[in-house]
């Protein structure tokens, strides 16, 4: 996997965290530097941890899936991306997002936005990926993007929420398609 593919995956995975951070910014109305750091650490940390967990789980079964690795990566990324797009097209907003940055509010949001990263870790086990580098890069990317999302939410409003999720979904689907096409041809 090359740098641009990893960047695409990292940006795609961080779009959920970006959208939630944007909403947190709207709810907070004001973002102190500690809030930006808090959002970045929670979302970036979970986005780094979850693919590693998925990779470890999947590595236990690697001998069974090596012959269909590209198909597994394709299916997982298309399902994750499609789900992100589907969620972005739903009309109701998430009412669970509030202005609190307490662990009791941040941990569930961080877990919820990183479930797709867990599945991506499963896909990584089927590919030629240096998992520590990939997880670190995904975590750093999400840290930066979610921090920016909080600031943008405070500054500009909610008009970016649905577009960010849709964009992230399309990126994941395109990368899944690229992986499958490389395998087939």
Span 12-61, pLDDT tens digits: 999 888 988 887 887 777 789 999 999 999 999 999 999 999 999 887 77
Coil, helix or strand at residue 174 = helix
Domain count, the chain: 1
> From the centroid of its chain, how far is CA 92?
21
Q: What is the SS3 assignment for 2?
A: coil
Confidence of residue 10 (pLDDT cuts 50, 70, 90): very high
pTM reported for the whole predicted model: 0.73
pLDDT at 172 over 80: no
Is 95 a residue whose pLDDT tops 70?
A: no
| d(C-alpha 114, C-alpha 14), whole Å | 8
The pLDDT score that the predictor gives to residue 180 is: 81
Length of the chain: 185
Band (166; pLDDT cuts 50, 70, 90)? confident
More confident residue, 77 or 5: 5
Give the model confidence (pLDDT) of 114-160 as tens digits: 888 888 898 888 787 899 999 999 999 999 999 999 998 888 755 56
* pLDDT for residue 143: 98
Question: Residue 66 has what pLDDT?
Answer: 59
Taking Cα atoms as reference points, which of 3, 4, 8, 17 lies closest to residue 145?
Answer: 17
pLDDT for the residue numbered 159: 57
**Which range of residues forms the domain containing residue 142?**
3-184
DSSP state, residue 64: H
The average pLDDT across 159-175 equals 70
Q: What secondary structure does DSSP assign to the chain, as a single string?
A: --HHHHHHHHHHHHHHHHHHHHHHHHHHSS--HHHHHHHHHHHHHHHHHHHHHHHHHHHTTHHHHGGGHHHHHHHHHHHHHHHHHHHHH-S---TT--S--SHHHHHHHHHHHHHHHHHHHHHHHTS---HHHHHHHHHHHHHHHHHHHHHHHHHH-STTHHHHHHHHHHHHHHHHHHHHHHHH-
């Amino acid at each position: 996997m090359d740098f641009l593919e990893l960047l695409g995956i990292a940006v795609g995975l961080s779009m959920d965290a970006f959208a939630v951070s944007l909403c947190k910014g709207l709810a907070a109305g004001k973002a102190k530097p500690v809030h930006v750091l808090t959002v970045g650490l929670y979302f970036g940390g979970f986005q780094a941890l979850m693919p590693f967990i998925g990779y470890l789980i999947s590595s236990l079964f690697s001998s069974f899936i090596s012959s269909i690795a590209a198909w597994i990566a394709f299916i997982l990324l298309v399902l994750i991306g499609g789900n992100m797009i589907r969620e972005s097209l739903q009309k109701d907003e998430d009412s669970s997002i509030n202005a609190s940055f307490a662990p009791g509010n941040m941990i569930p949001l961080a877990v919820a936005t990183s479930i797709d990263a867990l599945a991506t870790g499963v896909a990584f086990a089927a590919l030629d990926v240096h998992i520590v580098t990939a997880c670190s890069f995904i975590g750093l990317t999400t840290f930066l993007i979610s921090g920016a999302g909080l600031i943008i939410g405070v500054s500009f409003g909610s008009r970016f929420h649905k577009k960010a999720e849709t964009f992230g979904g399309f990126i994941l689907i395109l990368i899944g398609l690229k992986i499958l096409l490389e395998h087939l041809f």
